[in-house]
Amino acid sequence: MPIALSAVIDSLPYLLQGSFITAGIVVSAMLLGLVIGVCMAVGLVYGNRFIKYPLTMYVWVFRGVPVVVLLFLFYFGLFTFLDLNFSAFASVTIVLGMTTGAYQANIFRGAILSLPQGQFKAASALGMSNGQAIRSIVLPQILRMSIPAWSNEYSIILKDSALAFVIGAPEIMARTQFVASRTYQHLSLYIAAGIIYFLLTWAGVIALRKLEQYLRIPGYSHHGSN
């Protein structure tokens, strides 16, 4: 099998630099998704009709339309139309962030609904406003609860970040394509790219597992329950 390892080894530094871009995209998108997801989940559970309806629509759209379509729509379409000069990196981050936000909204919504009713009632009885109760009682619990599902989302977003090459972001996939087109060693290079993604997935999942364990340290107290 004509695996030209030399081509792979020579281009490895170049490819690995792409993983910084990839990591940047993924971390930013996940954090954006976290904020969107939590806010939407709160809106979906506690909000009135006028809040729930548009939020549900948002979730439906971003869970039903493929990421590639959204990338083309936003980067070549909307951003140009609105004269927003977002870079490819920023565009991918925004699109992925909005997409994962929709999925995370559902994750957190499920987590909120699974909390016993009594938690919220107790907070109100103690004189907390709704906002305080949500911030201090509901959020700390559901965020911990959702780490496994969130870890799953991370894995998905990492893989979706590979689509950034279609709008030219200089991440792993784009660089691999570039090197492959010049050395013709497609097979070995794309396998190498696959291995890099695999390792990034693995590392991330382990890191999140450690985070989950870390947050379980006894002695962490809920704010506000006097």
- Give the footprint of another protein on this chain (CB under 8 A): 1-2, 60-61, 63-70, 72-73, 76-78, 80-81, 158-163, 165-166, 173, 176-177, 180, 184-191, 193-194, 197-198, 201-202
Cβ closest to another protein, residue 5 vs residue 61: 61
Closest distance to another protein from the beta carbon of 201 (Å):
5
Q: Cα–Cα distances in Å, from 20 out to 1, 17, 119, 200?
A: 31, 6, 42, 11
Please, what sign has the CA dihedral across residues 149, 150, 156, 159?
negative
Q: Using the minimum distance from each CB to another protein, give the nearer residue, 104 or 134.
A: 104
Question: Please, which residue, 122 or 191, has the CB nearer to another protein?
Answer: 191
Decide: helix, strand or coil at residue 42.
Answer: helix
Q: How far is the CB of 120 from another protein (least distance, A)?
A: 25
Q: Which is nearer to another protein, 66 or 148 (CB)?
A: 66
Min dist. Cβ of residue 162 to another protein (A)? 4
User: Phi-psi region for residue 144, left (φ > 0), alpha (ψ -120 to 50) or beta?
Assistant: alpha
Q: Least distance in Å: CB of 72 to another protein?
A: 5
Residue 155: which residues within 8 A CB-CB, separation 6 or more? 201, 204, 205
Query: CB of 162 within 8 A of CB of 197?
Result: yes
